[in-house]
A = this chain, B = another copy of it.
């Protein structure tokens, strides 16, 4: 069964949702038959390399609230994250474009370490104050999960995997996904939001019950068989 998770890096509910999904998957009886794919979704595709000023001040201006109220919201989010074992450090988070970080996640997928890369980038962003548009830092983080330095550097220097990031985002648009994280099972059903593990487990079980049967393949044409018989 395929589970695709659309999410961004600079997205607190995506990180919290990852933990909740992992808890759901851990309890899912068919977890060994689940293939998870991280799909790209930039919350702000027009973001600059790095945003200026304090995050709470930007929030306050955006929503017409006081900076103190915005800081209070950050404290609440930090507590929610802590209850999932995550350390959110909004005081040092550096906001900016995540496009290249998504390309790195795609590269990691080619080498079987997509989940580890996604996890490493989330921690770098939320806990360590790393800037996701800083290519040297991305290379450093990619090396940590086992990617080859030259391969990452070369990819980032060119356009490779840009199409894959955009293809994920086009698919999201086609599916009507406008908020992340969004969990989609076998491209049949899904939920948006960092729901509690119980709800995500329910999604997995419902998806399993409805999982796609094997295709009907009609035989009989001119073909070569496994014994080499053409």
**Chain A residues close to B by CB (< 8 Å):** 8, 11-14, 16-17, 43-44, 62-63, 77, 110-112, 160, 163, 174-182, 184-185, 187-195, 199, 212, 214-230
Task: Report whether B175 and A187 are in contact in the complex, using a CB–CB cutoff of 8 Å.
Answer: no
Q: Which of B77, B194, B223, B227 is A180 in contact with, Cβ under 8 Å?
A: B223
How many copies of this chain does the complex contain? 2
Task: Please determine whether B77 and A230 come into contact, CB atoms closer than 8 angstroms.
Answer: yes
Q: Report yes or no: B181 in contact with A215, Cβ–Cβ below 8 A.
A: no
Give complex CA distance A32, B98 in Å: 30
- Inside 8 A of A191's CB, which chain B residues have their CB? 217-221
Chain B residues lying within 8 Å of A179, measured Cβ to Cβ, are: 219, 223-226
- B222 and A13 form a contact (CB under 8 A): yes
> Would you list 27 pairs from A and B whose C-beta atoms are within 8 A, ordered by A residue?
A11-B224, A11-B230, A17-B222, A43-B224, A43-B228, A77-B230, A112-B163, A175-B215, A176-B214, A178-B226, A179-B223, A179-B224, A179-B225, A180-B223, A181-B223, A184-B215, A187-B214, A189-B217, A190-B215, A191-B219, A192-B219, A192-B223, A193-B219, A193-B221, A194-B222, A194-B223, A199-B221
Determine the distance from Cα of A218 to Cα of B199 in the docked complex, in whole angstroms: 12
Instruction: Judge whether B177 and A217 touch: CB under 8 Å.
Output: yes
Give the chain B neighbours of A12 by CB distance below 8 A.
Answer: 224, 230
A176 CB → nearest B CB, Å: 6
Most buried by B among A160, A216, A223: A223
A125 CB, nearest partner CB in chain B, Å? 13
Shortest A92–chain B CB gap in Å is: 18
A62 to B229, CA, bound (A): 9
10 more contacts with CB within 8 A, not counting A175-B217, A187-B212, A195-B222, are A13-B222, A43-B226, A179-B224, A188-B215, A189-B216, A189-B218, A190-B216, A190-B217, A192-B221, A199-B221
A217 — which chain B residues lie within 8 A by C-beta? 175-177, 182, 184, 189-192
The residue in chain B whose Cβ has the minimal distance to the Cβ of A111 is B160
Q: Which among A112, A163, A179, A212 has the greatest number of chain B C-beta atoms within 10 A?
A: A179
Task: Given the known inter-chain contacts A192-B218, A217-B190, A218-B191, please indicate yes or no for A14 contacting B224, CB distance below 8 A.
Answer: yes
